[in-house]
């Protein structure tokens, strides 16, 4: 019997590029399980018994990337708790530490299909996050100060990870500046091409 190896798609792109929105669409249409590293961290922060709550709060507000052992443990636990075997891992790995930690702990246990990259310029990303903040997202990082830091971290630390995957020919780029319906059309075409 062939052992089932979970399939993984990493979903990366700037803050507010539309990763979460499109992951929800993909879940409905294709039955993947959506695991947002940011959502898992925010949930952990709200857990009063967690020893990492304060650390996570501070990292998120400063737009910094939480040490990989914390994030990777949350992702691994969520994968184990799921009965499904196809995962969209949204917002991870976003720096070298994330990349190395995942490689050490998880890469042998999963089949990475590709990296779905939402390409979106700073101005549009910022506008989307600020609008979301104004509409009451309650996120500690949907403000101008945090957004500058988030975008800086994205440019300095996450882009190199995307570039590395790109050099392995694993990156599928999506133009994320379009409206959400068009973006999903592009994703569906891509998935069709990969028999997903």
Task: Kindly state whether residue 101 participates in binding ligand UP5, applying the rule CB under 6 A.
Answer: no
- Could you tell which of ligand UP5, Mg ion, none binds residue 17, using a CB distance below 5 to 8 A set by kind? ligand UP5
**Would the annotation count 139 as a binding residue?**
yes
Give the per-residue contact string, 29-58, with ligand UP5 (x = CB under 6 A; - = no).
-------xxx--x-----------------
Binding to Mg ion in span 11-70, by CB under 5 A: 19-20
- Mark the segment that binds ligand UP5 (CB under 6 A) among 27-35, 47-55, 106-114, 128-136: 128-136
Task: Kindly state whether residue 18 participates in binding ligand UP5, applying the rule CB under 6 A.
Answer: yes
Q: Are 154 and 44 in contact (CB under 8 A)?
A: no
Task: Kindly state whether residue 179 participates in binding ligand UP5, applying the rule CB under 6 A.
Answer: yes
54 in helix, strand or coil? helix
Q: Are 88 and 23 in contact (CB under 8 A)?
A: yes
108 exposed, middle or buried (CB, 10 Å; 0-12, 13-18, 19+)? exposed
Q: Where are the beta strands (DSSP E) in the chain?
A: 7-13, 33-36, 86-90, 111-119, 171-175
Q: Are 161 and 12 in contact (CB under 8 A)?
A: yes
Task: Kindly state whether residue 173 participates in binding ligand UP5, applying the rule CB under 6 A.
Answer: no
Which residues bind to Mg ion, rule: CB under 5 A? 19-20
Q: Residues at the annotated binding site for a ribonucleoside 5'-phosphate?
A: 42, 64-66, 91-94, 139, 150
């Amino acid at each position: 019997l062939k052992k089932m190896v979970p399939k993984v798609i990493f979903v990366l792109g700037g803050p507010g590029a539309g990763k979460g929105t499109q992951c929800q669409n993909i879940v409905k249409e294709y039955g993947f399980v959506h695991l947002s590293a940011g959502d898992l961290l925010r949930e952990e922060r709200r857990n009063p018994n967690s020893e990492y709550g304060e650390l996570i709060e501070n990292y998120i507000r400063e737009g910094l990337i939480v040490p990989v052992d914390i994030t990777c443990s949350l992702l691994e636990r969520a994968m184990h708790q799921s009965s499904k075997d196809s995962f969209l891992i949204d917002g991870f790995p976003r720096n070298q530490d994330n990349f190395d930690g995942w490689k050490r702990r998880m890469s042998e246990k999963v089949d990475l299909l590709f990296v779905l990259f939402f390409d979106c310029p700073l101005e549009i990303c910022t506008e989307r996050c600020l609008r979301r903040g104004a509409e009451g997202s309650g996120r500690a990082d949907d403000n101008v100060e945090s957004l500058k830091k988030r975008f800086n971290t994205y440019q300095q630390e996450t882009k190199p990870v995307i570039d590395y995957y790109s050099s392995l020919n694993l990156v599928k780029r999506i133009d994320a500046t379009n409206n959400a319906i068009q973006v999903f059309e592009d994703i569906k075409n891509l998935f069709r091409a990969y028999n997903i």
